[in-house]
Amino acid sequence: MRTYTTSRRDDGTVINIVMPTTHLSLHYHIVFSTKDRRPLIAEEWRSRLHEYLGGLIRAANAVPECVGGVADHVHLLIGLKATHTLAPFVQDIKQTSSRWIHETIGAKDFTWQQGYAAFTVSVSNCDAVKEYIAKQPEHHRTKTFQEEYMALLKKHEVEYDDKYLW
């Protein structure tokens, strides 16, 4: 696939320049919770869910760099390609994993919240995000999901309206 960029010469002439390849580094930290932040992800099958989420990410031709979480939410650090579109990607992961939880785990009342948070991550910060995700159980001994979520939104300077947050 050829990529083109447009440039303007000193005389004002517009020219198209062929760029032979595209180079990307697209890492996303994605967070979503169970509906109403209910603690539905039991410890007995949590690791299976994390493995399944990793498999779904791979099946979508993305890279699961780290998957973790606790009883009421999950964190994903994923690498995406230029052809991925974030919203449908996350929707598919949530929809398919919810169906798996219903059919395989037998938790018929399980559902994810409608929304999610997604933050871009530079390569230089990927290891720190992986460590953060790996330490979720100990992190949540002192902090609720709501506190964590709001802190992430503030850290990444994402504007939000409290009345639509929960």
pLDDT value at residue 14: 74
Kindly indicate the confidence band of residue 3, based on its pLDDT and cuts at 50, 70 and 90: low
CATH, residue 130: 3.30.70.1290
Does residue 120 sit within a domain? yes
Cα Rg for the chain, rounded, in angstroms? 19
Write the pLDDT tens digit of every residue in 18-58: 667 778 899 999 999 999 999 999 999 999 999 999 999 99
Cβ–Cβ < 8 Å for 71, 136: no
Does residue 163 sit within a domain? no
Does residue 16 sit within a domain? no
Question: What phi and psi values does residue 72 have, to the nearest 5 degrees?
Answer: -120, 5
Write the pLDDT tens digit of every residue in 5-16: 667 777 777 777
Does residue 64 sit within a domain? yes
* Dist. CA 49–CA 70, nearest whole Å: 11
* Dist. CA 25–CA 37, nearest whole Å: 32
The whole domain housing 28 covers 23-158
Does residue 79 sit within a domain? yes
Q: Which residue has the tokens 């020219």?
A: 15
Does residue 94 sit within a domain? yes
Total domains present in the chain: 1
Does residue 45 sit within a domain? yes
Q: Within 10 Å of residue 97's Cβ, how many Cβ atoms?
A: 18
Kindly indicate the confidence band of residue 1, based on its pLDDT and cuts at 50, 70 and 90: low
Write the pLDDT tens digit of every residue in 78-104: 999 999 999 999 999 999 999 999 999
Does residue 52 sit within a domain? yes
Kindly indicate the confidence band of residue 162, based on its pLDDT and cuts at 50, 70 and 90: confident
